[in-house]
Amino acid sequence: MSDDDLTHTDDAGDVQMVNVGDKPDSARRAVARGTIYLAESTVDAVRGNEVAKGDVLATARVAAVQAVKHTWETIPMCHQIPITNVDTEFAVRDDRIELEVAVGTTGKTGCEMEALEGVTTGLNTVWDMVKAAEKDATGGYPDTRIADVEVVTKDKTVLE
């Protein structure tokens, strides 16, 4: 990768926000996903809504949507974009919970950072809500991990 490939730096190497003002408006959609690995007993508690802090998936869903809407405030060079839709989908497996977040917008820049922010915040919220069950005797989390966070799709249709 050369410095010419970096869009958020100027010729002097200083960080800058990309000017998207001349780009045409487009309908955009991005989907991201990730996984949190947990003890099977913890997943059973989530599935049975038996976690002391409350409904884990409902709380994580709200957190994911909130994160999508506030991405521009937490990632310095992201533009504030109009979010037209957020879909969240959880898949509860024996030893993990998978989260997929789809984000839609109409504007001059994409929404993949918003989808990624939704996934990571949603999974972090799951971790926060189940951490008491996941801790070992020393207070660590030897088997708990968030992994495989990625952008799955990114679509763009220029509007005329």
pTM of the model: 0.90
**Residue 11 reports pLDDT greater than 80:** no
Q: What is the pLDDT of residues 70-112, one digit of tens each?
A: 999 999 889 999 999 999 999 999 999 999 999 999 999 999 9
d(CA 110, CA 142): 36
Q: What is the pLDDT of residues 36-78, one digit of tens each?
A: 999 999 999 999 999 999 999 999 999 999 999 999 999 988 9
Active-site residue set:
128
Q: What are the b/e assignments for 40-70, b being 16+ CB within 10 Å? A: eebbebbeeeebeeeebbebbbebbbebbbe
**Residue 7 reports pLDDT greater than 60:** yes
Structural domains of the chain sorted by starting position, each given as residue range(s) with its CATH number in brackets:
40-158 (3.30.70.640)
